[in-house]
Chains A and B, each alone.
Chain A
Amino acid sequence: MFFKFVIRRVLFSIPTIVGIVTLAFLLGKLIPGDPAVAALGLDLDGASTVSQEELERVRTELGLDRPVIVQYMSWFGDALQGDLGRSSVNRESVTALILRAFPNTMFLLLTTISTAALIGISLGVFSALHRGKSADLVARLVTIVGVSTPPFWLALVLILVFAFNLNLFPMNGSVAEHGWTALVLPTASIALQPAALIARMSRSSMLEVLSQDMIRTAAAKGLGRWTIILRHGLPNALSPVITVIGFQFANLMGGAVAIEVLFGMPGLGSLLINAIFENDLKVIQGVVVIVGITFALTNLAVDLLYSVIDPRIKL
């Protein structure tokens, strides 16, 4: 039954993915400038330096002389087969470039969101259990500070203190170069805001659940405090928290771009920024596709999680 549900949800995400691929195509059509010029690795000023014949040759090669609908079908068909074209800078396959960058970004994002979820949920539950006491006030103050600290600014401060002054972590570089220490500062910079938001939602959701009748029933059975909180309270409080986590995960993709560039980590962010500087249209389109698909899969994962937790969610 669960398997059927998964299949159905995967089918449901197909239109989204078609939309994303289409959007990436339109992006290529809407960007100002001649794609043929761009494909030659030249910027707009450089256009006059190539001969008309050369441009025509590239146009034909790229299929730009064909009707738009044919171009679209061909883009779509290629995309379905995992062919997103070639980089105009170094002629490398876009798919290969993305496959190299994607795991790095995913690793950073998953580390960040797990850290944020763990800290956020713990802090929220702690806060709820001490509602109104000074521990709660302190915890809430921390979340307010967390929500309102800009990640980029935080990253700079962390670099200054922990990399530059204390020399505890590398100032920049990839996990391949430095091992897990390379992840600490980037993760900390972008995890704080989601952690604070997750903590807020965990607190309010937990408070709401703790006041429900079923908690009193659990207590009336003679169960211990932590059994009540962890077995009866927390699972019931989790649904809205998962919504926030999913949303924050999607949000983090944006944050990761800047952080990857700042810390010089290889990933989709660095790839995208370079492609923008180099006017490398195919790579930009490829990143749009992969980010869009990741969004769609995140939604899918959130929905599946709901149904794993809550038997009332109809399969």
Chain B
Amino acid sequence: MEMNKPILQLQGLRTEFKTGSGWVTAVDDLSYSVNPGETLGIVGESGCGKSVSSLCVLRLLPEPPGRISGGEIWYGGEDLTKVAETRIRDIRGNEIAMVFQEPMTTLNPLMTIGTQLCEPIMKHQGLSRKDAMQRAHELLQLVRIPDAKHWLKGYPHEMSGGMRQRVVIAMALACSPKVLIADEPTTALDVTIQAQILALLKELQDRLGMAVIMVTHDLGVIAEVADRVVVMYAGSKVEEATVEDLFARPRHPYTHGLFRAIPDIDSITSSEGAPTRLEEIPGMVPALDAMPSGCPFSTRCPFVIERCLAERPILEEKAPGHFAACFRELS
């Protein structure tokens, strides 16, 4: 496969939820693409639509209350929003796999680790249970679970959070997917384990050559693993650039704010692991049913001008390969 032809491409994705006050838009006109072997970072504050848009790729959005109300999701020659249910099932866990945020709740507490690992293997590769168990054993070794043989018969509650997340990753990698969507895979883990899991993902990606979509609210994680970054705010993409360009010169006031909200090194090391947020961006994300008519960030933007309140900025290429949706040029 060519390296520069996207393996997955979202075009104008729009997602809505039914609420007491009618349909609200959670993801608004989102487009991005990811190439084979590439890591795309998706970053933004809580509630900006990172998870919802990721779930849409595999059509895992709970419907109702949610629905995909527009846009396309191209995978090869297929629009995943339109393919048959049987086809999307063949893709799930096989060609496109997903790792979720909460390792404590993503596994079935009543089933052995081995059985849970075998499920996608038996389903997609048609292996017998015995052969699938053999493969499950290899997978546990791949994600460096010590004493893998023993853990095949173990249960999730007997494992630590870090180990469970390794199992979840092993499960996602079971059928060597072409795309791995990792939705905050390390958020629930402590800092040392976080670093280990990220390193593991990176290594496995290099070895297996898959594309990774890394969803996070943590710019530190982005710096660690991403090649390219999409910054989301209130359901929309507000900036996109290579990780170098973004870190060298963020072009959107929101991204600017995110960088200032990163704690400095001292505060990370002094406070026993959990990174404290120092300077949060002041104000709150507007509620989905109360979006301002102009720029969605205008309620919090320190650079707001008259025009921002009346008109919605569209994404512009501010520099080669560097896009931002803002009327102003940040220096």
The answer on a CB contact under 8 Å between B93 and A216 is no
The answer on a CB contact under 8 Å between B124 and A222 is yes
The answer on a CB contact under 8 Å between B155 and A312 is yes
A220-B98 contact given A311-B157, A312-B155, A312-B157, CB 8 Å threshold: yes
A310-B92 contact given A221-B120, A223-B123, CB 8 Å threshold: no
A235 close to B (CB within 8 Å) = yes
Total number of A-B contacts with CB less than 8 angstroms?
Answer: 72
The answer on a CB contact under 8 Å between B93 and A221 is yes
B102 close to A (CB within 8 Å) = yes
Q: Quick one: CB contact mask for B96-126 with A, threshold 8 Å, 1 for yes?
A: 0110101001111111000000011001100
Of the candidates A219, A236, A312, the one whose C-beta lies within 8 Å of that of B92 is: A219
Closest to A239 in B: B110
Residue total for B at the interface (Cβ-Cβ under 8 A)? 31
Q: Quick one: CB contact mask for A192-227 with B, threshold 8 Å, 1 for yes?
A: 000000000000000000011110111111111000
The answer on a CB contact under 8 Å between A217 and B168 is yes
- Taken together as a complex, chains A and B put the C-alpha atoms of A238 and B269 apart, in Å, by 46
Question: What's the minimum C-beta distance from B179 to chain A, rounded to whole angstroms?
Answer: 12
CB-CB under 8 A from B89, the residues of chain A are 222-224
Q: Which has the most chain B C-beta neighbours within 10 Å: A212, A221, A309, A310? A: A221
A59 close to B (CB within 8 Å) = no
A232 close to B (CB within 8 Å) = yes
CB contacts under 8 Å to B, within A161-179, are: none
CB contacts under 8 Å to A, within B42-96, are: 55, 58, 60, 62, 64, 89-94
The contact size tier of chain A is: 20 to 34
B171 close to A (CB within 8 Å) = yes
CB-CB under 8 A from B58, the residues of chain A are 220
A217-B107 contact given A222-B92, A223-B123, A224-B89, CB 8 Å threshold: yes
The answer on a CB contact under 8 Å between A222 and B110 is no
User: Contact residues of B with A, CB < 8 Å?
Assistant: 55, 58, 60, 62, 64, 89-94, 97-98, 100, 102, 105-111, 119-120, 123-124, 155, 157, 168, 171-172
Some 7 contacts from A to B, beta carbons below 8 A apart, are: A213-B100, A216-B55, A218-B108, A222-B92, A223-B119, A223-B120, A312-B109
